[in-house]
A and B are shown apart, each in its own frame.
Chain A
Amino acid sequence: MEAVKEAVRKIKSLVIPHADEKDNGIVFEIKLNETDQRVEKWGLDPSLDFFEVTGNCNLGRPNSEGSNQSLMGSVTIRNIFNPKLDDLLSKIEYVRFLEAVKKPRNRTFKTSFFNSRKLSPVFTGGPGYEDLVPPMFVGRDCLKATITENLTRQRELTYGVMFEEIITRDENRRISENGLLLSPDGGISINGPPTTLSGTGIDHIATLQANITRDNTKLVNGAVVGEKNIFQVDQGLGIGNNFPLFNRHQLSLTSFIQLKQVEEGSDKPQPPVLVLHGRYGGCIGDLPSYDVFALGGPNSVRGYSMGELGAAKNILELGAEIRIPVKNTHVYAFAEHGNDLGSSKDVKGNPTGLYRKMGHGSSYGLGVKLGMVRAEYTVRHNRGTGALFLRFGERY
């Protein structure tokens, strides 16, 4: 008890809200800082839809004894009232800062082991079929080793290797080999699209990864202006079940165009900004269902849930947003479109066609930014209906 009281006295607390896209809930992460440089984080996630409360605990010791090394551990229990081993999500991360005399780039070596459990956006029903298709969960155990070169503060090159074990489970936590097959006559069978490459529900995959970010954005009186490009490659190495060989790549281009010259300085008004965004994703080779590109979602086409428009091997997303400053914040109008470029049928079992998704869709709407929160009214072209959303963070 004395130790607990001693610890409480040393604690400063900070409440940070996050958007939880997985559950459409809100996570309030409580960050606790101890004075002896250890870091602890407690978080509570009241996801009322799932009637679960998630708790997580992070322990870390950065810059351990001044040797440029860092070790972090994190354990999350999805339901603290009914804990199950399947629901334990953990992460162990070892970070070391490499010092090179000849090329003094800020280079970091990072090894991490982590697992995750996410709802698959592929095995969800299209309009009118939401309740017919039961949820499918994708569990991953990952061992990852990467090197990060910070070319500047916001320009980063990352490359590394990742080994993964992926298990797909149905809502009863049983290993699931196939999704549902919906017959036109109303029949349902379990011979639908395969969930894994091997067809057994368990996959092992080795991947080379590379990610480069070119960020030329700057702040003009608080408004982001400039250009940002991200390129990412996942190269399958042909190691694992069925020797998966693939090349999965994404290119994202975003321009923040200042529409009016303003005088720079504190207390000066923000300029109006036009944001143009394009994103292309493509894949050649063996592509399992859990790695296909999902169309629809807060970071894809707004207004739709994740994967509501389809799952495809090639996707193209286009977005435009115009931001008008108002007092200390801005209001904005946006339009977004996502398209599968006809590649939905190339996903094994064609889950997009099977679950009656369109394969493409658009949305537009209005919003206002309030601190870290965005309030948006979004109209979905495919449905013709609108809804109000609260989002956290930035879309672009």
Chain B
Amino acid sequence: MAALQTLREWIGIQQFPPATQSKLLEILGKYKEEDVSSLTVLVMGKGGVGKSSTVNSVIGEKAAAVSTFQSEGLRPTLVSRTRSGFTLNIIDTPGLIEGGYVNDQAINIIKRFLLNMTIDVLLYVDRLDVYRVDDLDRQVVGAITDAFGKEIWKKSALVLTHAQFSPPDGLNYNHFVSKRSNALLKVIQTGAQLKKQDLQGFSIPVILVENSGRCHKNESDEKILPCGTSWIPNLFNKITEISFNGNKAIHVDKKLVEGPNPNERGKKLIPLMFAFQYLLVMKPLVRAIKSDVSRESKPAWELRDSGLASRRS
């Protein structure tokens, strides 16, 4: 599908201040060195957490429609931009929660949209300024795991939006970020049912993001977080690290879209099962019945009747 799309030059990169541009070009140089010509990033999460805003901020233009109050449609959006022979694909998706439930229909639409694509990086987006996690977060992570497999989390990052948020009184910013991140990483671990050996020392990176126009800037006119980090180059750096982290990218093929077919499971065992049932269940039962018949005790009334009959004769 990406091949059919007319490649658009990444003009939005010129919107960034020169300091950010030079850092991004340096990152693109890494892909050239590694002979990688394209990167596909999948952005997923609950509704209203800032997925489309993040895509727009990263591309540098209004590529995905954003409205503060309007609910998203159900169609994913592929944003494709080319620069110096390198193509960046970002896939924005609808929110996975609707009316208090995981929207299985949205997940199926996303999977069909991704057919024959390869996902290099998954960005799981949530908000920094929400204090609690609940079972719904776990269900969303579970749905993503059911759709793409546990391996997706080895190619993923946790993105926290609204990073310019001021923590509650008395809490240090870094401390709050740490607590919020750990809570969500724990949700990802339990929701995806990841065990320690599944991760093998891999830890999911956390990326802070501020998409608002009121984002603070440093002396180089770059958008910075409260801790002083310029977040757009940082985001690209983290994506690059994930892309080259040695774990395999997720190829979405027909089998993954349709999901495993439970009817096929164990089908080859049917002749064995049939033989087992005949030899080890049916035949012993028949033998047991015959021994029951030969050993069967007669009820008392039958004995009494036969005694009476013999006495009468």
Contact = CB atoms under 8 A, between A and B. Distances in A.
Interface of A: 151-152, 155, 157, 181, 183-186, 210, 212, 214, 216, 218-219, 229, 231, 233, 235, 245-247, 249, 251, 264-266, 284-287, 313, 345-348
A112 B40 CA distance: 62
Size band of the interface chain B makes with A: 20 to 34
B274 interface: yes
27 contacts: A151-B286, A151-B293, A155-B289, A157-B282, A157-B289, A184-B100, A184-B101, A210-B277, A212-B286, A214-B285, A214-B288, A214-B289, A214-B292, A219-B299, A233-B274, A247-B277, A249-B277, A264-B300, A264-B301, A265-B301, A284-B266, A284-B269, A284-B273, A285-B263, A285-B267, A285-B270, A287-B263
B179 interface: no
A152 B293 contact: yes
A157 B299 contact: no
Most buried by B among A212, A229, A235, A284: A284
Contact of A348 (B98, B103, B262, B274): B262
Q: Is chain A's interface secondary structure helix, strand, loop, or mixed overall?
A: strand
A346 B266 CA distance: 12
Given A216-B292, A218-B299, A247-B273, 12 more contacts: A151-B289, A151-B293, A157-B282, A185-B103, A214-B289, A219-B299, A229-B285, A233-B282, A249-B273, A287-B263, A346-B262, A346-B265
B266 A231 contact: no
B200 interface: no
Contact of B270 (A184, A219, A284, A348): A284
B30 interface: no
Interface string B187-219: 000000000000000000000000000000000
Nearest to A246: B270
Pick the most buried of B263, B281, B293: most chain A CB atoms within 10 A of its CB. B263
B99 interface: yes
B102 interface: yes
B186 interface: no
A284 B267 contact: yes
B100 A233 contact: no
A207 to B, nearest CB: 12
Q: Which 8 A-B pairs have the closest CB atoms?
A: A346-B262, A184-B101, A284-B266, A264-B300, A185-B98, A247-B270, A286-B263, A247-B273
